[in-house]
Amino acid sequence: MLEPLFESPIKSQVLLYVYTHGESYGREIAREFGFYPNAVQYQLLKLEMGGVLFSKLRGKVRLFGFNPRYPFKKELEALLEKSLTFVPQEEKERLYQPRLRPRRTGKPLP
């Protein structure tokens, strides 16, 4: 739905994922959507260079989140919130709801 505005389906998915999860890293986003990690990383770096996202290192992992100093942060979040209303409920639950607790050690992935 946001692809015409953001020029890329990957960029719109990345923005929605970071918005709903707060912070994330490129490989996690790529794994969730089935994108190539390099494509996701490229979009994350473009958004960071534009000032929309910030990044920080946590160990060896670079986490990305919304830049609190971005001048259009409120408007962008409102647009992303509105676009989430058009996402089917099962897709929203599968992709855009963060886990509330960590996975039990040894529990197999679904």
Per the structure, the count of domains in the chain is: 1
The CATH number of the domain holding residue 61 is 1.10.10.10
pLDDT tens by residue, 27-56 = 999 999 999 999 999 999 999 999 999 999
pTM higher than 0.85 for the full model? no
Does some domain include residue 28? yes
Inter-axis angle of helices 26-33 and 37-49, nearest 10: 130
Residue 1 has pLDDT above 60, yes or no: no
Which structural domain range is residue 38 located in?
10-91
Can you tell me the distance from the alpha carbon of 5 to that of 15, in angstroms, rounded to the nearest whole number? 12
pLDDT tens by residue, 65-78 = 999 999 999 999 99
Q: What is the pLDDT of residue 38?
A: 96
90 or 56, greater pLDDT: 56
Can you tell me the distance from the alpha carbon of 2 to that of 83, in angstroms, rounded to the nearest whole number? 8
Does some domain include residue 71? yes
Can you tell me the distance from the alpha carbon of 97 to that of 29, in angstroms, rounded to the nearest whole number? 13
15 falls in which pLDDT band (50, 70, 90)?
very high
Does some domain include residue 67? yes
Q: Is 2 left (phi over 0), alpha (psi -120 to 50) or beta?
A: alpha
Can you tell me the distance from the alpha carbon of 92 to that of 74, in angstroms, rounded to the nearest whole number? 21
